[in-house]
Amino acid sequence: MTTSKKTSSRAACALLAAVLGMGTTPAWSGAGQPGHGHDAAPAQGHMMGGQGMPGQMMGTQGMPGHHGAAPAIGGPGKAADVTRTIDITMQDNFYEPAEIAVKAGETVHFKIVNKGTLLHEFGLGTAAMHAAHQKEMMVMMEHGMIEADRVNHERMKMSHGPGQMAMSHSHGADQGSVLVEPGKSAEIIWKFPKEATLEFACNVPGHYESGMMGPIRIK
Amino acid sequence: MRRLMLAALAAILLAPATARAGTYDLTIGTAAINVAGKDQTAMTINGSIPGPVLRFKEGEDLVINVTNTLAEDTSIHWHGLILPYQQDGVPGISFPGIKPGETFTYRFPAQQAGTYWYHSHSGMQEAVGMYGALVIEPKAREPFRYDREHVIVLSDWHPDDSPHKILSNLKMSADYYNYQKRTLSTFVDDAGKMGLGAALADRMDWGDMRMLPSDIADVSGYVFLANGRNTEQNWTGLFKPGERVRLRFINAAAMTFFDVRIPGLKMTVVQADGNNVRPVPVDEFRIAVAETYDVIVRPTEDKAYAVLAESMARTGFARATLAPRMGMAGDIPANRPKQYLTMADMGMAHGDMAGMAGMDHGTMGQGATHTMPDGSTMAGTRHEGQGMTHAMPDGTTMKGESHAGHSMPAQPTHTMPDGATMAGMDHSAHGAPASGDKADPFYAPGSGLMPKAAEGGKFLSYADLKAIKPLYPDRPAAREIEVRLTGNMERYVWSINGVKYSDAEPIRLKFGERVRFKFVNETMMTHPMHLHGMWQILDNGSGKYNPAKHTISIAPGKTVEADIEADAEGEWAFHCHLMYHMATGMFRKVVVERETAEAVR
C-alpha cells in the first residue's frame, strides 16, 4: 500500500449512460442503498475503452452528491482536497491491501487496477448495502449485462423484455463503486464521513462470499 | 538488514533441492462400529471410519506406509491424484496389491492442490469403511478466503448385508432392493393424473423394458454417514458467528448420490474435484459418488445449522451440524417425496448439452431404434434437434452433426409421455448462471432426477463450473472415443460399449494426444465415471474454461463429452464409481503409451 501527498490533476471521470425505459425500481434497489437522484448506468472509471456508450462525460465534481436518508458513507470528493492516494490491486478473488485505514473526514484518491482474469468491482458501502448490491449484480449477470470477465454494454442499455423495467445500477465513481474489467484500471476520489462502519467489496456473484471484501477503518 | 536478507536468500538458493516429505503410517485392519443400533465389523484405516485426514503441501513428497493386518489383500488408491502409475494403487493394473502382513510404501510428489480422497481398490473393501480425505495445501494463494475449514466425508453403510451379499441379491433379482414398486393404488393415482390410456401406455412401456420406473437407486436400506457418524451421532463442526467456513465435501459412498443443503445458509462453490472454479453461490448441490466440492459458508447467527445430505432417491439423510458450541444439533426435515424415473430417463433422448426431445408416442416408426439394456430394441422416438448418436441394434453408431458450441433453435417444445408439452430450454443465455429452478441441461428434459432446490433458489449445475485457471491450453481433440454406458438390468451386468471388463480390450491412448470421450448413457442409472491418472475436461460449453474433473456423472438418457490430455504414461483404471457397477464389469483399463518405432512399423 502506498500513500502519497500527490494529488491527481485529473478527477475520475464517469461515463454516465441514460438508462432507457425507467419504470419502477426493483424492490431490492434502495434497500440500504444510497438514494441517488438519478439512476446511473455503470460508470466504469473512464477505462472502458472502445465501447462507445451514449451519454455525456461528467467530472465527479459536478455530481450532486446527495445521499438522502441513506447511511452516511461519505461522497465524491474534490481533487483539491485529496490528502492521500491509495493503490488498490484486484486479483481473483481478493484485494491488495486486504484492509484500508483512513482518517475521519479524509478525502482519499483510490487508484484501482484489476490484475485478475475476471471482472471485479471496487465498491464502498456498508455490509447491508453490499448485500443488497449482490442481489442486484446476480440479476445483472443472469441478464447477461455483466459476464465473468466483461461488462456487456449493449445488454446494459437494453430493457429486458416487454413490460419489464430496465435495471437500475449503482455503479459509478460518484457512488463509490467501479466495475473494472481484467487489465483495466479506474479511480475514485472519495470523502469519508467522520465515522461509519464501512467495507470495500466486490459484489460480482460469488466474489464477496469468497472473501473479496475488507474493512475500512475510520480513525 | 538488506544484506542479511540477501545472505539468507543465497543460503536458500544454495541449499540442496530436496523436497520435504510429508509422511504418514496407515494400518489397515478391522474395528467394531455402531451406526445402525448394533456392533458391526468394519474395515478401517488406523482404526476409524473415515480414515485420518491426510494433509500435504503442494510440491512436497508424499510418503505413505500402508501396513495390512487383514487376512486378505488390500490396497489404497489416491483418488484424483496425478502420480506415476505404479503408485496409483489398483491391484492388477498398477501393482500386485498389498499382501496380509506386508507394508507397502507409496512415494510420489504432490503435483496439485485441493480436496481429494483415498480408498481401497481391492474387492469391495471401500463399501465397508476403507476411505478417508486427503488435502493438499496450495503453494499459491487461493482465489478465496476462509477463517476455518471442516472436511465432511459422506458415505453409506448397509446394516443388513455385506457387499458380497448385496451383489448376490442383485444378481438374483436386480430389483431385490427396490422397495418402491408401483402398485395398483399408484396406478389408480396415475390414471387420475394422466388419464387411464396414458397411465396404461406408460405402464406398458415400462413393462416392455422389464424395468421399474422407481429404480433411482439399485440398493436401498442404507444408513447415511457424515464423517462416519449417523444422524443421531451428529458430527459437529464449530464456527464463530461471522467467520467464513470452508467445507470440503467428499462423497465416499458405495452407491449413494447426495443432494446437499444447509438450510439458512447460502453456499458458494469454489472448488470441484480439487480444482478451483469461478465461485458459484448456490442453495443446494448434487454430489455424485467419488466427487468432491468445496464450498464457503458464512454463518452469522449464534445457532446450530444442519448440513443435510439427502440421498437422491429420497430415502434418508446424512446429517452433520455446524454450531458455535458442541452439543447442538441442526434440525432434520422430512424426506422430500420419493422421486420416480420417467420415460425421459429411459434413454429415449440421447441429447447433448443442448437438451433434446423426449418421446413422442404419437409418431412411431420414425427415427432410430434404441438398444435397450436388456438387448431388445425399441423403435419410435422422434427427435427434434440434431447431433445425436444412436446405437443401432447391430452395434454400429449413427452420428448426427457435432453440436459443440452451437446454440439450439430457441425454445423447442417437447412432447412428454403423458402427452403434455414442455417448453424446451432457452440456450441463449448459455454460460450465464441459471437462476432458480431452470431445467439443468445435464439431465434429460422431464427427467425424474431433475435437480430442484428443496427450499427454492439455485441448484448447482455442471454448466456452472468454469475453471479459474485452466490446467491445459484449449485445443481440439485429435479423435473421439465413444464410451457407451450399457448394462443388462435383468442379469445385473454393467458394461461399457456392451462389453464387460473381463471380456474387453484396453482403451489405448497415444502419449501426448488429446482425446475426446463421448459418454452415451444408454441405461436408466446415473454413472459417475472416474478416470485414474489424468483429468477429464468436461465440455460444459465454457470453451477454454471447461472444468477439469476426475469424476464425471452422466445422467440417464444423456450424452456428455469430455477431453482427456493423455499426459501420463502407464496403465490406468477407468470405471463407474458405483461399487456394484464397477464390480460387475463397468470398468476398463486405459493404456497410455509412447509411439515407438516398433509400434509404428
pLDDT in tens, B205-236: 555 544 555 568 889 899 999 999 999 999 99
Q: Are B170 and B204 in contact (CB under 8 A)?
A: no
The whole-angstrom separation of Cα B501 and Cα B503 is 5
Contact B145 A148 (CB under 8 A): no
Option in B145, B432, B433 nearest A210 (CB): B145
Q: Which residues of B touch A205 (CB under 8 A)?
A: 279-281, 433
Supply B426's cell numbers: 432457452
Contact A148 B144 (CB under 8 A): no
Contact B144 A93 (CB under 8 A): yes
Q: In what order do the strands lie in the sheet with A185-191?
A: A75-76, A185-191, A107-114, A84-91, A94-96
pTM for the full predicted model: 0.79
Task: Tell me which of B268, B276, B277, B298 to substitute to probe the interface with A (most A C-beta atoms closer than 10 Å).
Answer: B268
Give, as one character, the DSSP assignment of residue B211.
Answer: -
Contact B433 A141 (CB under 8 A): yes
The tens digit of pLDDT for each residue in B411-469 reads: 333 333 333 333 333 333 333 334 445 789 999 999 999 999 999 999 999 999 999 99
Tell me the angle at which helices B184-194 and B196-208 cross, rounded to the nearest 10 degrees. 130
Q: What is the 3-state secondary structure (H, E, C) of B168-194?
A: HHHHHCCCCCCCCCCCHHHHHHHHHHH
Shortest Cα distance, chain B CAs vs residue A7, angstroms: 32
A residues 4-63 closer than 8 Å to B (CB): none
Residue type, A180: V
Residue B17, pLDDT > 70, answer no
Q: How far is CA B186 from CA B189, B418, B446, in A?
A: 5, 15, 19
Q: How far is CA B386 from CA A35, B290, B382, B408, B519, in A?
A: 51, 32, 11, 9, 17
CB atoms within 10 A of CB B208: 12
Supply B550's cell numbers: 476426475
pLDDT range class, residue B201, cuts 50, 70, 90: low
Residue range B572-576: mean pLDDT, rounded = 98
The least confident of A150-159, B147-156, B374-383, B566-575 is B374-383
Whether residue A210 lies within 8 A of chain B, CB to CB, comes out as: yes
Supply B292's cell numbers: 468432491
Option in A94, A138, A147 nearest B145 (CB): A94
Residue range A17-32: mean pLDDT, rounded = 30
Shortest Cα distance, chain B CAs vs residue A79, angstroms: 34
Supply B456's cell numbers: 427454492
Contact B435 A92 (CB under 8 A): no
Q: Which residues of B touch A199 (CB under 8 A)?
A: none
Q: What percent of chain B has pLDDT over 90?
A: 69
Cis peptide before B50 (omega within 30 of 0): yes
A211 to chain B: nearest residue by CA? B145
pLDDT range class, residue A37, cuts 50, 70, 90: very low
Q: What is the 3-state secondary structure (H, E, C) of chain A?
A: CCCCCCCCCCCCEEEECCCCCCCCCCCCCCCCCCCCCCCECCCCCCCCCCCCCCCEEEEHHHCCCCCCCCCCCCEECCHHHCCEEEEEEEECCEEECCCEEECCCCEEEEEEEECCCCCEEEEEECHHHHHHHHHHHHHHHHCCCECCCCECHHHHHCCCCCCCCCCCCECEHHHCEEEECCCCEEEEEEECCCCCCEEEECCCCCCCCCCCEEEEEEC
Looking at residue B396, what is its pLDDT? 32
Residue A205, pLDDT > 90, answer yes
Option in B268, B429, B432 nearest A209 (CB): B268
